[in-house]
Structure 1
Amino acid sequence: MLKLHQFPISHYCEKARWALEIKELQYRKVNLLPGPHIKKAKKIAKRSSLPILEHDGVFIQESSDIITYLDNNFSRRSLTPEQPKEQELAAAWESFADREIGPAVRLLCYSTLLDHPGIMIPLFTKNGPWYGRWALKPAFPKIAESMRDMFKITPQSAIEAENKVSTALDNLNATLGDREFLVGDTFTRADLSVASLLSPLIMHRTYGVEWPDSMPEPLASQMTSFHDRLGWVEHIYDNFR
């Protein structure tokens, strides 16, 4: 049995979930609590970051490496293009998403949501240990402070993240034009990576968490300002997730 050690809320974990599910692989989610996850992650892998895929005693860390491992070991529905030039282009898009889009979306969302434990605690603890909400509530202020330090969340960095997301969306839409896919004529890891790392901005029903009916400010207004440029992400989720 494949196991995915993850945070339900993480868009990098969503990227790995999507890869597993589009390949129709049976797997078990192991939902960890932020903070206590560090000890568990370092016990089975090199770093504390999630997701971590477990398969037959092998542990694969980082979403991009997980997709590569799945394509190399499970032939159904390959996400990596066959042609070398398309492989190179898909890798470039995935690297851009991992390096530029993912961190900016995360910082932008957490810059607002870490001030709202009533939203974050249910998202952090979904389908996790039975004691999750009870344990996380008193620990949340310290966890939020640690996350702000780890991700360098400040009012200025939030502005920079918003601008980075806006620029990425402009570039994405200019590149796509009237095409459906980023690489070639089929859905690849490029589309999966870009769409999944932008997905918290559309709160799609297939993401796997129960999103709040609305986001608090200023995140709500920021998401509204991106709305007209997120149509492709909605389309990819509606048709391939």
Structure 2
Amino acid sequence: MLELYQFEMSHYAEKVRLILDYKGLPYRKVEVTPGIGQIELFQMSGQRKVPVLKDGSEIIADSTAIAEYLDRKYPENPIIPSDPKQKGLCLLIEQWADESLGLNARKGLIGSLSQNQSFRTAVLPTSTPDILKNLVGAIPGDFLGILGVGVGMGPDTVKEATDALKRSLTALSFMLTEQPYLVGDSPTLADFAVAGLSMYVKFPTGAYLDIPESLKGKGVAGIADVSIFDPFFNWRDKLYADFRQTSTSSYTPPSGSAPTSINID
């Protein structure tokens, strides 16, 4: 069986999970323990980032490389068009999603965490003691904003990212007004990249992700909670309903020095 080494909260891993589900490929999620688990991941793949796919003796790192490998090795339900024009557009959108949408979504989420106490505590693992959750929630947002400046995530950076996200989702909504998918009449890598990498902008509802219930439907303030972007999220919800498999496992945070395996039926 395929093994996906991942963080459940990784939107790049979610991109790969969408592709695996669309292709109908059974796989096992292996939750990597941050820190020690990433050392083991480096020993296996030569790098520390997730996602990493293990297919027998094949080890593939990077979500784009994984997508291309899956389309070559398992050609049923292709995700990269054969038509040259559609293929070029698909790959261009996927690259944009990786390098713009995904990065801005992460910055926007960080900004929302500093602004919203309940959202901030919801991101913590479910096993976190209540006293620690209360301490994290009690940290003043202004203080977190100051810390953000120190790591290049100050208010100006967050605002720029949020504004870019708004423009991107508006453009995507226009593109999807009269067509079911971003490229052609069937879903492609472009759709799964955009859907997966928008996870931080607004976490999907439903039993797709092993995350706390309090996170589902929440996301970047000023985007996830306003109706103007509903056309995009309605499209994404339909993509999930049509192709994403629900998880039968409950959320279990990683523990110990080795990755924790979570079975997906």
Q: CA deviation at 1:20?
A: 1.2
The answer to whether the 8 A contact 1:3-1:53 is kept is: yes
In the alignment, what sits opposite 1:122?
125
The answer to whether the 8 A contact 2:218-2:224 is kept is: no
Distance 1:122 1:83 in 2: 44
Distance 2:172 2:22 in 1: 23
Distance 2:29 2:75 in 1: 22
The AA in structure 2 aligned to 1:87 is: K
In the alignment, what sits opposite 1:208?
209
The answer to whether the 8 A contact 1:199-1:233 is kept is: no
The percent of aligned pairs where both chains have the same amino acid is 27
Larger Rg: 2
Q: CA deviation at 1:112?
A: 3.1
The AA in structure 2 aligned to 1:174 is: F
Distance 2:151 2:47 in 1: 16
**Distance of aligned partners of 1:43 and 1:235 in 2 relative to their CA distance in 1, 3 Å threshold:** same
Structure with higher RCO (Cα < 8 A, 6+ apart): 2
Q: CA deviation at 1:206?
A: 4.3
Q: CA deviation at 1:195?
A: 1.2
Distance 1:83 1:217 in 2: 38
The AA in structure 2 aligned to 1:205 is: G
The answer to whether the 8 A contact 1:181-1:191 is kept is: yes
Matches within 5 A, 1:171-182: 171-182=171-182
Query: TM-score normalised to the size of structure 2?
Result: 0.74
The AA in structure 1 aligned to 2:195 is: A
Distance 2:94 2:50 in 1: 17
Moved more, 34-43 or 78-87: 34-43
Q: CA deviation at 1:217?
A: 9.6
Matches within 5 A, 1:145-224: 152-200=152-200, 201-213=202-214, 219-224=220-225
Paired residue secondary structure (1:153): coil
Residue from 220, 233, 238 that aligns with 1:235: 238
In the alignment, what sits opposite 1:129?
none
Q: For the aligned residues, what is the CA RMSD?
A: 3.2
Paired residue secondary structure (1:180): coil
In the alignment, what sits opposite 1:80?
80
Paired residue secondary structure (1:29): strand
Distance 1:84 1:151 in 2: 42
**Distance of aligned partners of 1:49 and 1:148 in 2 relative to their CA distance in 1, 3 Å threshold:** farther
Q: CA deviation at 1:215?
A: 7.8
Q: CA deviation at 1:12?
A: 0.7
Distance 2:225 2:120 in 1: 22
**Distance of aligned partners of 1:172 and 1:4 in 2 relative to their CA distance in 1, 3 Å threshold:** same
Query: TM-score normalised to the size of structure 1?
Result: 0.81
**Distance of aligned partners of 1:191 and 1:151 in 2 relative to their CA distance in 1, 3 Å threshold:** farther
**Is 2:45 aligned against 1:45?**
yes
Q: CA deviation at 1:65?
A: 0.9
**Distance of aligned partners of 1:221 and 1:6 in 2 relative to their CA distance in 1, 3 Å threshold:** same
The AA in structure 1 aligned to 2:199 is: S
Distance 2:47 2:41 in 1: 7
The answer to whether the 8 A contact 2:109-2:219 is kept is: no
Paired residue secondary structure (2:28): strand
Paired residue secondary structure (1:209): coil
In the alignment, what sits opposite 1:128?
none
The AA in structure 1 aligned to 2:12 is: Y
Q: CA deviation at 1:178?
A: 1.1
The answer to whether the 8 A contact 1:169-1:229 is kept is: no
Q: CA deviation at 1:47?
A: 2.5
In the alignment, what sits opposite 1:90?
90
The answer to whether the 8 A contact 1:108-1:158 is kept is: yes
The structure with the greater share of residues assigned to helix is 1
Distance 1:227 1:151 in 2: 30
Gaps of 5+ in 2: 137-143, 245-265
Gaps of 5+ in 1: 124-131
Over residues 89-113 of structure 1, what are the superposed CA-to-partner deviations in whole Å (9 max), with x where a residue is unaligned? Answer: 1101101111111111122113333
In the alignment, what sits opposite 2:71?
71
